Amino acid sequence: MESKITESVVEVRNLTTSYKERIIQDNISFRIYKGEIFALLGGSGSGKSTLLNTMIFLKAPTHGEVRILGKNIWSLSPEAALEMKLNLGVLFQFGALFSSLNVLENIMLPLREYTHFSQKNIQELAFMWLMRVGLKKEVANLYPNELSGGMVKRVGLARALALSPKILFLDEPTSGLDPSSARHFDTLITQLRGLLGISVVMVTHDMESVKGVVDRMIILKDKKVFFEGSLANLKTQVESLDVFLEQI
Ligand SMILES: Nc1ncnc2c1ncn2[C@@H]1O[C@H](COP(=O)(O)OP(=O)(O)O)[C@@H](O)[C@H]1O
Ligand SMILES: [Mg+2]
């Protein structure tokens, strides 16, 4: 086997999450390596979004650590937390575009908020991201309600990437897309990973994505990590991969 030095971008250590008394993750640990496309899998309600939220400053752990780029993100000072947040790009499940802003203004938003670039530079950067996610220049002036589902996801992706994050988080990026748009989105994610050298963490239940683009995954079950590894690893552990994946 090829040996290489692998650097973790995310390290979850003995993590427990809960809402009030109800435990969602019970003392789980896993790592995500630099450059990986990593999936969080599990049945509906298994805690995928909760887990993702502990990595993007939205849900504090009950116990344990979420280390990102070497730092326990839940013990950072407010200044250090802001600096860390700039390394993280997030595409939420429903795109979450501002309906009163056009496409370009949506992409420009994080640049306006977090940089001191000139208006002209911000606009140029937003156009660059628009094209990098495979959209035409003409799309810039459209409003969210004029976009297809696939285009909304792409604009959300451009906005998530605008500040050149090191890690991109995606919650169910292909849900609600037709199969062809979903596969195009998968291809785009793979291309961007290669082009930008980012690591990608995605919640998904799209098994075509898992087979097509995911390097490694965890499967959440009964509050624990039921499996961690690649699809090839998983194949050696189950009788029929397709039957197994359908049951998740
Ligand atoms: N804000 C919340 N308050 C209380 N319970 C929640 C909250 N968010 C999620 N839950 C519960 O936690 C469990 C895991 O939810 P979630 O992480 O959204 O699962 P998944 O993304 O895998 O479908 C579910 O039972 C859900 O109802
Ligand atoms: Mg969810």
Residue 119 predicted with pLDDT over 80: yes
Separation CA 166–CA 164 (nearest Å): 7
Residue 136 CA to ligand 1 centre (angstroms): 37
**Measured in angstroms, how far is the CA atom of residue 101 from the centroid of ligand 1?**
30
Answer whether residue 12 shows pLDDT above 80. yes
- Ligand 1 atom, smallest distance to 50 CA: 17
Q: Is the pLDDT of residue 5 over 70?
A: no
Those residues with Cβ within 8 angstroms of residue 242's Cβ, 6 or more apart along the chain or in another chain: none
**For the residues of 159-197, what is the DSSP string, one character each?**
HHHTT--SEEEEESTTTTS-HHHHHHHHHHHHHHHHHH-
**Rounded distance, CA 181 to CA 139, Å?**
17
Is residue 178 a part of any domain in this protein? no
Tokens of 33: 């390596």
- The total of other beta-carbon atoms located within 10 Å of residue 134's CB is 18
Indicate the burial class of 127 (C-beta count within 10 angstroms; 0-12, 13-18, 19 or more).
middle
0.85 exceeded by the pTM?
A: yes
What percent of the chain clears pLDDT 70, i.e. is strictly above it? 98
CA dihedral angle for residue 208, residue 212, residue 218, residue 220, rounded to 10 degrees: 0
> Does residue 148 lie in a domain region?
no
Within-domain flag for 32: yes
Q: Measured over all CA atoms, what is the biggest interatomic distance in the chain, rounded to whole angstroms? A: 58
Cα–Cα dist 221/121, whole Å? 47
Looking at residue 240, its pLDDT comes to: 83
Decide if 120 is inside a domain.
no
Calpha distance 225→47 (Å, rounded): 11
- How large is the average pLDDT for residues 234-242? 85
In a domain, 149, yes or no: no
Report the C-alpha gap between 198 and 167 in whole angstroms: 6
Give the pLDDT confidence score for residue 51 in this predicted structure: 98
pLDDT at res. 102 = 98
* Of 1-5, 160-164, 191-195, 228-232, minimum mean pLDDT range: 1-5
Number of domains in the chain: 1
Q: Is the pLDDT of residue 2 over 90?
A: no
Report the chain's terminal Cα–Cα distance, integer Å: 30
**Any residues with Cβ below 6 Å from ligand 1, and which?**
19, 24, 42, 44-50
- Ligand 1 atom nearest the C-alpha of 42 is 22
Is 233 inside any structural domain?
yes
pLDDT value at 1 more than 90: no
Mean pLDDT of 215-219: 96
Q: What is the reported pLDDT for 140?
A: 98
Q: Output the pLDDT for position 4.
A: 59
Atom 16 (ligand 1): residue with closest C-alpha? 47
pLDDT-derived band at 48 (thresholds 50, 70, 90) equals very high
Whether residue 244 is predicted with pLDDT greater than 70 in this model: the reply is yes
Q: What integer best gives the mean pLDDT of the chain?
A: 94
The protein residue with its alpha carbon nearest to ligand 1, atom 1, reads 19
Residue type for 13, please? R
Q: Find the 68 Cα to ligand 2 centroid distance in Å.
A: 21
CATH number of the CATH domain containing 18: 3.40.50.300
Q: How far is ligand 1, taken at its centre, from the CA of residue 176, in Å?
A: 20
Write the single-letter amino acid at 21: E
Cβ(28)–Cβ(42) under 8 Å?
Answer: no
For residue 82, what is the enclosing H or E element?
helix 78-85
Please, which contacts does 227-232 make with residues 24 or more away whose CB atoms are closer than 8 Å?
A: 228/30
Asked whether residue 180 is domain-assigned, the answer is: no
Model confidence pLDDT, tens digit, residues 20-32: 999 999 999 999 9
CA distance 41 to 221: 9
Query: pLDDT (tens digit, 9 = 90+) per residue, 62-101?
Result: 999 999 999 999 999 999 999 999 999 999 887 689 999 9
pLDDT at 10: 98
With tokens 């995911």, the residue in question is: 214
Q: Output the CA 171–ligand 2 centroid distance in Å.
A: 7
Q: Which atom of ligand 1 is nearest to the CA of 220?
A: 22
Average pLDDT over residues 127-154: 96
The reply to whether 21 falls in a domain is: yes
> How confident is the model at residue 95, as a pLDDT?
67
Instruction: State the residue range of the domain holding 232.
Output: 1-86+167-172+216-248
Alpha carbon nearest to ligand 1 atom 13, residue: 45
Q: What is the pLDDT of residue 67?
A: 98
